[in-house]
């Protein structure tokens, strides 16, 4: 008789975590829902290559987002509009390999780039499959309204979804720039309706980018089944995300208001520190609620 598969065994020939150093259970969809339910903040950072991903995993970051922000930080583009699906596939695959090299405990989210999900649900599914087969555990897509149909289509087919509302950089030209969204009563009402529709469609996570802190906190309280992940949305969200290069201070321009440079001096860490320590400090600050500080990093 075939012995039953042990609960944490790796069926179908998959490799167990590569490193014997794993200090925590892998982050899974139920684990994210559990963190949300018990009010523990969810930590997310972007990463685009194997090494940074492995370090983020070892630092205890809950989720890595291979964001299309890589267009700016890796490719030198002036917006995310020019990022292709093939570029995203390459970076998701690199990050997935890096995670297998480390603890393989971090949840991996792949971002659908501009033009790869707008035509139809079928086009969106084909694009999502490319990133899932590259190693993503979840797919992120921008926008509200018409996207709820795509989110439902994905979730019914076993693809976990992270939605993205507020400032959606792929539509920066329509929005008239990188501006705070949901400031008027009318735009806040639309954003709120979209957030509920995306939750009802089955999105598990929802990035809220550059949204007033009060609105983000209100939405976070309303959405019982979808954890909000803020970036420039104050400290009342269920989790936080930052672009890796920003939080490491690797930005020659003016740093966005919502960023904290974790490579700068860290409280309790004397002298110089490395990137892993900066990531650990970010995780600690988010978990304990000291980052972001609404007085400094929010609207």
| CA atoms 210, 212, 215, 218: torsion sign | positive
Q: How far apart are CA 238 and CA 220, in angstroms?
A: 7
Is 86 in the active site? Answer: no
In order, the DSSP letters of 205-242 are EEEEES--HHHHHHHHHH-SSSEEEEESS-TTSSEEEE
Relative to beta strand 42-46, strand 63-66 is parallel
243 interacts with ligand KIV by CB under 6 A = yes
85 interacts with ligand KIV by CB under 6 A = no
Site track for ligand KIV across 259-288, x = CB under 6 A? ------------------------------
Q: How far apart are CA 80 and CA 114, in angstroms?
A: 8
Please report, to the nearest 10 degrees, the dihedral formed by the alpha carbons of residues 61, 62, 64, 67 taken in order: -110
Q: How far apart are CA 91 and CA 99, in angstroms?
A: 12
46 interacts with ligand KIV by CB under 6 A = yes
Query: Nearer Cβ to ligand KIV, position 164 or 194?
Result: 164
Report, in Å, the least distance between residue 261 CB and ligand KIV: 16
Q: Which of the residues 54 through 83 are near ligand KIV (CB under 6 A)?
A: 65, 67-69
- Select the residue interacting with ligand KIV from 231, 238, 278, 279 (CB under 6 A): 231
Q: Which of the residues 111 through 140 are near ligand KIV (CB under 6 A)?
A: 111
Query: Nearer Cβ to ligand KIV, position 99 or 241?
Result: 241
Q: How far apart are CA 266 and CA 268, in angstroms?
A: 6
Report, in Å, the least distance between residue 206 CB and ligand KIV: 11
Longest dimension (CA), the chain: 65
- If DSSP codes are grouped into helix, strand and coil, which group holds residue 46? strand
Please report, to the nearest 10 degrees, the dihedral formed by the alpha carbons of residues 203, 209, 211, 215 taken in order: 30
207 interacts with ligand KIV by CB under 6 A = yes
Site track for ligand KIV across 149-178, x = CB under 6 A? ---------------x--------------
Report, in Å, the least distance between residue 66 CB and ligand KIV: 8
Q: Which of 93, 142, 197, 209 is catalytic?
A: 209
Report, in Å, the least distance between residue 207 CB and ligand KIV: 5
Q: In angstroms, what is the C-alpha Rg of the chain? A: 18
Q: Which chain residues interact with ligand KIV by CB under 6 A? A: 46, 65, 67-69, 111, 164, 207, 209, 231, 241, 243
């Amino acid at each position: 008789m075939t012995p039953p598969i042990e609960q944490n065994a790796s069926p179908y020939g998959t490799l167990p975590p590569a490193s014997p150093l794993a200090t925590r259970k892998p982050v899974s969809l139920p684990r994210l829902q559990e963190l949300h339910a018990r009010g523990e903040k969810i930590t997310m950072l972007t990463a685009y290559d194997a090494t940074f991903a492995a370090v983020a995993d070892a630092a205890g970051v809950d989720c890595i987002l291979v964001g299309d922000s890589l267009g700016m930080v890796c490719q030198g583009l002036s917006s995310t509009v020019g990022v292709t699906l093939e570029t995203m596939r390459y970076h998701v695959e690199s990050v997935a390999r890096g995670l297998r090299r480390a603890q393989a405990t971090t949840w991996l989210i792949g971002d659908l780039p501009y033009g790869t999900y707008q035509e139809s649900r079928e086009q969106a599914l084909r694009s999502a499959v490319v990133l899932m087969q590259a190693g993503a555990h979840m797919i992120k897509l921008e926008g509200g309204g018409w996207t709820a149909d795509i989110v439902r289509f994905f979730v019914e087919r076993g693809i976990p979804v992270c939605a993205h509302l507020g400032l959606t950089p792929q539509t920066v030209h329509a929005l008239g720039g990188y501006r705070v969204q949901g400031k008027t009563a009318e735009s806040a009402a639309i954003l709120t309706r979209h957030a509920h529709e995306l939750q009802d469609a089955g999105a598990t996570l929802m990035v809220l980018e550059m949204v007033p802190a009060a609105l983000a906190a209100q939405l976070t309280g309303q959405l019982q089944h979808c954890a909000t992940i803020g970036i420039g949305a104050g400290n009342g969200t269920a989790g936080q995300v930052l672009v890796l290069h920003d939080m490491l201070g690797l930005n020659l321009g003016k740093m966005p208001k919502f960023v904290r440079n974790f490579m700068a001096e860290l409280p309790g860490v004397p002298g110089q520190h490395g990137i892993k320590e900066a990531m650990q400090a970010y995780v600690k600050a988010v978990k304990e609620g000291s980052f972001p500080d609404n007085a400094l990093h929010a609207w």
